[in-house]
Structure 1
Amino acid sequence: MPLNTQPNLARPDDFYEALIDAHRDLSDEHSAMLNAQLILLLANHIGDMAVLREALAAARLALPPRAG
């Protein structure tokens, strides 16, 4: 199963709102911890190492170039 990079959320605005709500009133440290926990939970749900490697590569490619 290849990584699906096409829009796939039935209600993306609702997800975004829930994500923002989950981070509300958290310190930067706790926000980073929440992100890490969410990534691990979703990776476990996906369970396919090939798909996870595709996602990691795609996320890295989407980063802006490093300064310097």
Structure 2
Amino acid sequence: MTALRRTLNLARPDDIYNAIIDAHKGLSDEQCRDFDARLILLLVNHIGDEAAIREALKEAATT
């Protein structure tokens, strides 16, 4: 059984994508990496499901 949700789970995914892109505007490459790391850690903590997180790590590494 998979722990990672693979179906769309956002009402307005394009808006979220654009918000993420906008959050990077004006940042240097290093600032972007730092921002991404902080965002990932915040979201991982919010998810709180180790199996889903590990599955997402594997999926991201292969695609």
Please confirm whether the aligned pair reaches a TM-score higher than 0.5, indicating the same fold: yes
Count of aligned pairs between the two proteins: 62
Q: Structure 1: where are the runs of 5+ without partners?
A: 63-68
Higher helix share: 2
Give the TM-score normalised by structure 2. Answer: 0.91
Structure with higher Rg: it is 1
Aligned residues: CA RMSD: 1.1
2:8 partner SS: coil
Bigger relative contact order, structure 1 or 2 (CA pairs below 8 A, ≥6 apart): 2
Q: Structure 2: where are the runs of 5+ without partners?
A: none
Runs of 4+ in 1 over 4 A off after TM superposition: none
Give the TM-score normalised by structure 1. Answer: 0.85
